[in-house]
Each structure stands twice: as C-alpha cells, then as structure tokens.
Amino acid sequence: MTKLDINKPKFGELTKIASDLYWAHFELPFRLNHVNLFLMDTPEGILILDAGLKSEHSEEHWEALLNGPLKSKKFAGIVITHYHPDHIGMAGWLQKKLNIKCYTTEKELFTAKTFRSMPDDEYAKIFKNVFVRAGMSEEDIIAKGPATRLYKNRVYELPEFEIIKAGHEFNSNDGKWIVRTDSGHSPEHISLLDKERKLYLSGDFLLPRISPNISDNFFDPLDDRLGEYLKYLNEIQEIGSETRVFPCHDWPFDEGAQRAKDLIKHHNHRLSLIIEALNKKSITIMDSISIIFDRKIGDEQMHFAIGEARAHLIHLDVTGQAKSEMDERGTVHYMKN
C-alpha cells in the first residue's frame, strides 16, 4: 500500500482529488481524531458523502465550507456510508439547512433509528449485557462501566432517508459510481466504485493505517460479522493495485488489493492465536482480549476491544472451529470443538 502524495485539506477548504471529486477533513474529539468526507460534482449539483459527527466543530466546519468553497452551489443530496455518529451525526442538520435528499441502506438506517430513539436506561442495559456476555466482572462493569457515550448526543435527529441498495448508480460530472454494500464494521455499509476511472470511496471498510473495528451486532449475537468482512476483503481485491482509494479515515492510497490481503492476514493471525489458546482451556471474550491485543486496553477503548474479540470468537463458533456455552450469569465460554 502506498500513501498518495495529496495534502489533506485545511479547515474550511476542499482538496480536489479528481476532476469532479473533493475531500474535506473534519476533526473528531476521539482517539481517532478526524473523519474524511467527500463531495462530488454531479449534473444535479453537489453530492455529499457522509456528514460528520454532531458537534460544534462540525457545525463551524460546515458553515465555513458553505460560506466558502460551497457558496451558492446547488446540492444533489447526501449519501451516508453507515450509522456510526462520525458519519451520520450531521445528516439531520445538513438536511434541514440544505433541504436535500439523504440516502443510506436499510440496515444502517434501522440501526441508527433504533439507537437514536432508545431510552437511556435501555441503551445502558444493552451495553451492560455486552459486558456480562463478555465475562467482565460486576465490579469492573460498575467501575469501568458502560461509559455510555449516548448515540443521540452525537447524532442530530435523523432526517428522512431514501433507501438504496447494492448496485445503485450515482452519476457525477465525469464518472459513474456503483454502490457496493458490505457487512463487517457495520451491517450494510456503502462504498462507491468508479471502475472506469479507478477511483474507490472505501468508507470505513478499507483503511490504510488501522484495521476497521468489527462491531457487535446488538440484535443478533450469532451474526458472523468477521466472516462477512473477510468475504469483503477477498472480493475487493478486484480493484487491483492502480485504483486510488479514498477512505473515511487517514489518507488516500493505492495498492488497495495488497492492503486487503494484509488485513486478511491480520485477522487470520488473531484467529490462530485464539485457536492456540482454546487448545489449552476454555476462554471468555474478556480472556481473549489479552490474547489478540499486544497493548493494554484503556476504558475508552474497551467496548471496541470487546467487539473485536467477540467477532473473532463468533467466527470460530459459527464456522465450527470452536463451540460455546452460556453460564447462568449470561457469560459465554468458548472451547475447542
């Protein structure tokens, strides 16, 4: 994988990355401290890809863009890649401001709507269940606890969405973008490929530096999200090495097929470490965290680590490489099959 020699855009500016494509870079108040948004010129106006996190910074940034490079432009719509707050958070705000159509997929919208409308106590309960299932002790749950960063605090009231499916086409001034949808980091994530011009807007699925977190499916504990993601990583290699990849985090790159191969290797390595441990004894999700991560996990990162560890164990379970049992408390124990 090679980083492309393109300077990241500054606050209130857009960087042109193709004849009809632009890149914006918004800061985030997290360890992952920024998100990339993209905009394209289309015959109907500008099509926005992702909206940013609900925050004062995002509002200021959008205002700066709308009063700067986007001043008196016509807008065609907003495409939201997935339900995570740093992507969908400002969709409602933008829709109100620009009165434009919003597009996403059915499962991403379902997840966003469910979390956005969930009462606080139910939200906390879901997180607690995740921790119990993983085998976290009661003391740790109380101490480290679901430091529940409520979804609704980071996502504006959702706008109306038009549902799109894999294969949907968006035409820009100089290209044709085909929507692909995949499960892994989220349930039905959108990425956009312009095959002809070899441009790929990869969302959060193909990132150059970090391995996209494989999240929990709170609604189906046996959903093999890692299996789905490995399928994506195999399929996406068809973009080859020349395609320029524009991800929602970090920097644009090429040799995306090699990056996909490296990510497969990374997950297979983690799977083999867990299998090795299962050969010795049964383990919980919490046990497996120290097996697959070679760094100490802080409280803020714990939820992601649990999701990631759990995805690997579920994959082994669903594919018959391990089996599982739930104890009385609700903790799942995984063992050699």
- Residue numbers of the site for Zn ion (CB under 5 A)? 84, 204
Pinpoint the alpha helices (H) of 181-319: 225-235, 256-278, 285-292, 299-318
From 215, 233, 231, select the one nearest 223 (Cα to Cα).
215
Residue 250 carries which DSSP code?
A: S
CB of 212 to Zn ion, least distance (A): 7
Of 113 and 281, nearer to Zn ion (C-beta) is 113
Is there a contact between 78 and 109 (Cβ–Cβ < 8 Å)?
A: no
The nearer residue to Zn ion, 84 or 267, going by C-beta atoms, is 84
Output the smallest distance, CB 20 to Zn ion, in A: 25
Q: Please state the closest distance from residue 41 (CB atom) to Zn ion, in A.
A: 26
Dihedral sign (CA 270, 275, 280, 283): positive
> Cα separation of 269 and 315, whole Å?
13
Nearer to Zn ion, 57 or 125 (CB): 57
Residue 139 CB, nearest approach to Zn ion (Å): 31
Q: How far is the CB of 203 from Zn ion (least distance, A)?
A: 8
Amino acid in position 30: F
Nearer to Zn ion by Cβ, of 172 and 181: the residue is 181
Rounded CA-CA distance 242/239 in Å is 8
Residue placing its CB nearer to Zn ion in the complex, 80 or 316 = 80
Q: How far is CA 130 from CA 2, 84, 108, 135, in A?
A: 38, 18, 20, 9
Residues 26 and 53: their CA atoms lie apart, in Å, by 9
Choose between 82 and 197: whose C-beta lies nearer to Zn ion: 82
Side-chain half-sphere exposure of 234, counting CA atoms within 13 A:
8
Nearer Cβ to Zn ion, position 207 or 292? Answer: 207
Q: Which is nearer to Zn ion, 212 or 256 (CB)?
A: 212
State how far the Cα of 102 lies from the Cα of 273, in Å rounded to an integer.
42
Nearest approach, Cβ of residue 185 and Zn ion (Å): 6
Nearer to Zn ion, 135 or 212 (CB): 212
Taking the complex as a whole, the smallest distance from the CB of residue 24 to Zn ion amounts, in Å, to: 17
Q: In what order do the strands lie in the sheet with 253-254?
A: 2-3, 253-254, 244-247, 199-203, 189-194, 176-182, 169-171
Q: Tell the smallest beta-carbon distance from residue 200 to Zn ion (Å).
A: 17
CA distance 81 to 87: 7
The answer to whether residues 157 and 116 touch, using CB atoms and an 8 Å cutoff, is: yes
Q: Closest-CB residue for Zn ion?
A: 84
Name the strand (E) or helix (H) holding 56: helix 56-67
Q: Provide, rounded to whole angstroms, the least separation between the CB of residue 14 and Zn ion.
A: 22
The continuous run of DSSP H or E covering 177 comes out as strand 176-182
